């Protein structure tokens, strides 16, 4: 790798600052008492505590998965702080009551929450460590019957909806990290789109980890009733610490008849330094249930941060003619490790799924695609198309593909295509010889490679994602 | 066209260069004036391509000695992209494929980098489209090529035509064509050399690197140089190329070794 490329690649992380704010944290460690304490702090209904305790007891009997193609030292779950919230005086009546330090923090991250500066047509729920600090455009959305609030708030005002849907897509004991999340999750976003309603604006949640010892365990639930549609986007950043922080989130989506959910992620957690010190462990379970006929769930993710990423946004296609989509760009650099992909489970008739995965590995990083396409015995006429492309930058990066295909129905059609390419010194020289700078060359090649995925992102974020990738990569070539 | 009063565009003195620690260029001298067309011939491994890469600034080719003055400026001080922007163009022997990047975007960004350097206004997509349509004629390319990825799936001839199209857009002061004739059938050779001739002017200069006399039937050089062992060992006019075609390179090399000249 040439030196110029190296400096380019190793752009400093812009979001690594820590906000100095007094926090209400509980001591590190996990026990049944801690689970009860979290539930009590949030004044939760009884069923929620039951859900948590069941998950916790289940978790105790489980072991951490070892099958992902990643390696890290054992996590000491007793050293993690499971609840940390910025101290506040009283109940928040409006955004004006939000601590200005927090507003400033989000502003610095490019997520203005104050009335005047809000992103037009994007409603934002801002989550700081364990709690939601503000949700914008709530009233405007309520006019349409759309509920968009933190999950803690939803537990107070809409407990019936939470009880009906929470844990129906990702059960409390689904996997090790999902069980941990179910036991200790502190906040997250809740979205409910009523029947035949098209959500009038983009919904977005912005996650920020601030506390160096705290884990972030948020839980997001989106329910789209019959004939409704919604587009939702999440973004994430964290300060730079020498230690690793655990982020174990769960996202559940439910789409009823003819409903349509589009879920986009731009993940830029701190990735650790160039020697792999620090960074977020991003161990996330995301799953969508296409319960109704003709329903559609589409995942788009741009994964650029985290020391380790372990996530497989999935679709369970139960309703006849339902559609699942997964579009992913996963970029790893330096010592980052990613094991990511999707699961498409075809249950209903004529269900269709599309998987487009683009992995970019630079530095000494490891980037694996892992995907399952499963066609059940009743999924007549099911179709899947998968395309997994890897791009290597430099000579020390790794790309792997682990496709799993299980078909139990002979009327279905499953296609898988894969390719591996490399940005080489000679290609770069070709650009340079035409007067095009190294930065522009890399950004043009990466945009070209990721085009199919970026086209799926909401307009405002496609540009952002494009820029983010170039920033992260510049200099990793050679 | 030889005009001894024309500006010296490129002056190479005692140039030495290595690749992977192996010395390839061993004291090369060359002077190119505005309006001239030079052909550099020579057996495989004599250093012709290394010369072109060293002038263009490829990072794998390390200049270890000598000097290169381009338009009165020390060329070796400039990074590769600056050399290009100041008017040095290399037509590649093996043009690279760039999947996912459309030809037109590539051409526009390249063209605007050069224009910016020249203090000209950068062209927007519409103005550029007009310009490129005009230049397509030079190499008789169909507009469809513009929307395909750079060189991806192009035939050998199409790749070379694409190189000349880039040259037409960048309007270089010094064009070095590295074996542009290799792998071309007669029709493609005619189109490519027709393009080169069209672009040659009293103000710019062209250096052709080739193995074969055939190209020189289409593009008539003012000078023919023979390269061997990393140096230019003899220089003549067009008739030298014909003689080489007939007698091979050995006699020149022997003559040189015997100290004739």
Residue position matching structure tokens 């050089």: B221
Give me the pLDDT at residue A112, please. Answer: 63
End-to-end CA distance of chain A: 4
Residue position matching structure tokens 């690793």: A244
Please report which residue ranges of A158-256 form alpha helices under DSSP H.
159-165, 176-184
Evaluate whether residue B236 is within a structural domain.
yes
Token reading at B144: 């469809």
Evaluate whether residue B21 is within a structural domain.
yes
pLDDT in tens, A426-463: 899 999 999 999 888 988 888 888 888 888 877 666 76
Give me the pLDDT at residue A8, please. Answer: 40
Q: Which of A67-76, A126-135, A332-341, A354-363 has the lowest mean pLDDT?
A: A126-135
Alpha-carbon distance A184 to A38, whole Å?
A: 7
Contact between B113 and A437 using a beta-carbon 8 Å cutoff: yes
Spatial contact of B67 and B14, defined as CB atoms under 8 Å apart: yes
Q: Which domain holds residue B47?
A: 8-94+173-257
Evaluate whether residue B13 is within a structural domain.
yes
Evaluate whether residue B140 is within a structural domain.
no
Contact between B90 and A426 using a beta-carbon 8 Å cutoff: no
Q: What b/e readout covers A254-266, taking b as 16+ CB neighbours within 10 angstroms?
A: bbbbbbbbbbbbb
Spatial contact of B261 and B234, defined as CB atoms under 8 Å apart: yes
B235: nearest Cα among B28, B16, B92 = B28
Residue A294: other Cβ atoms inside 10 A: 17
**Mean pLDDT of the A66-90 span:** 82
| Angle (CA) A428 A305 A28, round 5° | 155
Evaluate whether residue B152 is within a structural domain.
no
DSSP string, B56-94: HT-TTEEEEEEEEEETTEEGGGS-HHHHHHTTEEEE-SS
Evaluate whether residue B118 is within a structural domain.
no
Please report which residue ranges of B149-249 form alpha helices under DSSP H.
156-170, 186-199, 214-218, 238-247
In angstroms, how far is CA A435 from the centroid of its own chain? 38
Contact between A421 and B99 using a beta-carbon 8 Å cutoff: yes
Alpha-carbon distance B136 to B126, whole Å?
A: 16
Q: Is B23 on the interface with A (CB under 8 A)?
A: no
Please, which residues 95-134 of chain B have a Cβ atom closer than 8 Å to chain A? 95-96, 98-102, 105-106, 109-110, 113-114, 117
The model's pTM is 0.80
Order of all β-strands in the sheet with A260-267? A131-135, A122-128, A202-208, A229-237, A260-267, A296-303, A323-332, A352-361, A383-393, A413-423
Q: Is B20 on the interface with A (CB under 8 A)?
A: no
Number of domains observed in the structure of chain B: 1
Token reading at A276: 């792999």
Contact between A435 and B81 using a beta-carbon 8 Å cutoff: yes
Evaluate whether residue B208 is within a structural domain.
yes
| Angle (CA) B53 B58 B62, round 5° | 90
Of A433, A440, A444, the CB nearest to B80: A433
pLDDT in tens, A359-371: 999 888 999 999 9
The answer on pLDDT for B99 being more than 90 is no
Give me the CATH number covering residue B178: 3.40.50.300
What confidence category does residue B80 fall into, taking pLDDT thresholds of 50, 70 and 90? very high
Interface test with B, best of A392, A427, A435, A450 (most B CBs within 10 A): A435
Residue position matching structure tokens 């395309």: A387
Residues of chain B found within 8 Å of residue A3, distances taken between Cβ atoms: none
Residues of chain A found within 8 Å of residue B105, distances taken between Cβ atoms: 444
What confidence category does residue B128 fall into, taking pLDDT thresholds of 50, 70 and 90? very high
Spatial contact of A128 and A86, defined as CB atoms under 8 Å apart: yes
Alpha-carbon distance A191 to A232, whole Å?
A: 9
Please indicate whether residue A350 or residue A116 has the higher confidence score (pLDDT). A350
- Provide the shortest C-alpha distance from residue A440 to chain B (in Å): 9
Token reading at B49: 């391509």
Evaluate whether residue B157 is within a structural domain.
no
State the ipTM, two decimals. 0.95
Q: Report the phi/psi class of residue B167: left, alpha or beta, with left for phi > 0 and alpha for psi in -120 to 50.
A: alpha
């Amino acid at each position: 790798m040439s030196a110029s490329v190296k400096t380019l690649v190793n752009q400093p992380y812009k979001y690594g600052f820590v906000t100095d704010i007094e926090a209400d944290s509980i001591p590190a460690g996990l026990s049944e008492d801690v689970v009860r304490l979290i539930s009590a702090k949030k004044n939760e209904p009884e069923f929620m505590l039951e859900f948590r305790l069941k998950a916790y007891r289940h978790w105790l009997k489980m072991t951490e998965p070892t099958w992902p193609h990643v390696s890290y030292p054992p996590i000491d779950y007793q050293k993690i702080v499971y609840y940390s919230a910025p101290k506040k005086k009283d109940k928040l009546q409006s955004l004006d009551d939000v601590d200005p330090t927090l507003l400033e923090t989000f502003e610095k991250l490019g997520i203005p929450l104050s009335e005047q500066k809000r992103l037009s047509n994007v409603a934002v729920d801002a989550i700081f460590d364990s709690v939601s600090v503000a949700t914008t455009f709530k009233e405007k959305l309520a006019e349409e019957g759309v509920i968009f609030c933190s999950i803690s708030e939803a537990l107070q005002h809409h407990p019936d909806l939470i009880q009906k849907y929470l844990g129906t897509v990702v059960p409390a004991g689904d996997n090790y990290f999902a069980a941990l999340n179910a036991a200790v999750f502190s906040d997250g976003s809740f979205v409910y789109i009523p029947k035949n309603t098209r959500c009038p604006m983009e919904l977005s949640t912005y996650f920020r980890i601030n506390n160096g010892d705290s884990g972030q365990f948020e839980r997001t639930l989106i329910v789209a009733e019959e004939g409704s549609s919604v587009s939702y986007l999440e973004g994430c950043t964290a300060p730079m610490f020498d230690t690793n922080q655990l982020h174990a989130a769960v996202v559940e989506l439910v789409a009823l008849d003819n409903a349509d959910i589009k879920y986009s992620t731009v993940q830029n957690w701190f990735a650790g330094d160039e020697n792999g010190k620090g960074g977020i462990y991003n161990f996330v379970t995301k799953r969508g249930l296409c319960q109704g006929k003709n329903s559609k769930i589409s995942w788009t993710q741009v994964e650029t941060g985290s020391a380790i990423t372990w996530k497989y946004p999935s679709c369970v296609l139960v309703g006849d003619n339902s559609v699942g989509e997964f579009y992913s760009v996963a970029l790893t650099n330096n010592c980052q490790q990613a094991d990511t992909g999707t699961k498409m489970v075809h249950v209903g008739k004529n269900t269709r799924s599309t998987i487009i995965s683009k992995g970019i590995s630079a530095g000494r990083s490891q980037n694996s695609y892992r995907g399952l396409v499963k066609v059940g015995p009743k999924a007549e006429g099911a179709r899947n198309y998968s395309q997994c492309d890897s791009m290597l930058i430099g000579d020390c990066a790794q790309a792997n593909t682990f496709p799993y295909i299980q078909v139990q129905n002979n009327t279905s059609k499953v296609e898988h295509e894969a390719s591996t390419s490399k940005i080489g010194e000679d290609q770069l020289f070709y650009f340079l010889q035409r007067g095009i700078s190294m930065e522009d060359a890399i950004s043009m090649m990466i945009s070209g490679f990721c085009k199919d995925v970026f086209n799926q992102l909401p307009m405002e974020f496609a540009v952002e994602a494009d820029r983010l990738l170039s920033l992260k990569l510049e200099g990793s070539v050679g | 066209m030889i005009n001894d009063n024309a500006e010296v565009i490129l002056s190479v003195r005692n140039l030495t260069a290595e690749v992977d620690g192996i010395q390839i260029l061993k004291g090369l001298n060359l002077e190119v004036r505005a309006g001239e067309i030079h052909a550099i011939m020579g057996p495989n491994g004599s250093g012709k391509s290394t010369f072109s890469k060293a002038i263009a600034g490829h990072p794998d080719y390390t200049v270890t000695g000598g000097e290169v003055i381009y338009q009165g400026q020390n060329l070796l001080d400039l990074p590769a992209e600056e050399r290009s922007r100041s008017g040095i163009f290399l037509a590649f022997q093996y043009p690279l494929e760039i999947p996912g990047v459309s030809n037109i975007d590539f051409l526009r960004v390249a063209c605007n980098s050069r224009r910016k350097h020249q203090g000209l206004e950068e062209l927007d997509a519409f103005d550029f489209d007009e310009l490129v349509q005009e230049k397509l004629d030079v190499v008789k390319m169909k507009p469809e090529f513009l929307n395909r990825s750079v060189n991806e799936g192009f035939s050998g001839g199409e790749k070379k035509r694409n190189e000349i199209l880039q040259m037409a857009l960048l309007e270089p002061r010094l064009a070095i064509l590295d074996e542009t004739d290799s792998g071309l059938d007669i029709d493609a050779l005619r189109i490519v050399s027709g393009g080169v001739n069209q672009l040659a002017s009293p103000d710019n200069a062209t250096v052709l690197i080739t193995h074969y006399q055939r190209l020189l039937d289409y593009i008539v050089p003012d000078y023919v140089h023979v390269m061997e062992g990393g140096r230019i060992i003899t220089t003549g006019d067009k008739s030298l190329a014909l003689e080489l075609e007939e007698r091979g390179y050995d006699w020149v090399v022997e003559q040189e070794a015997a100290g004739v000249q």
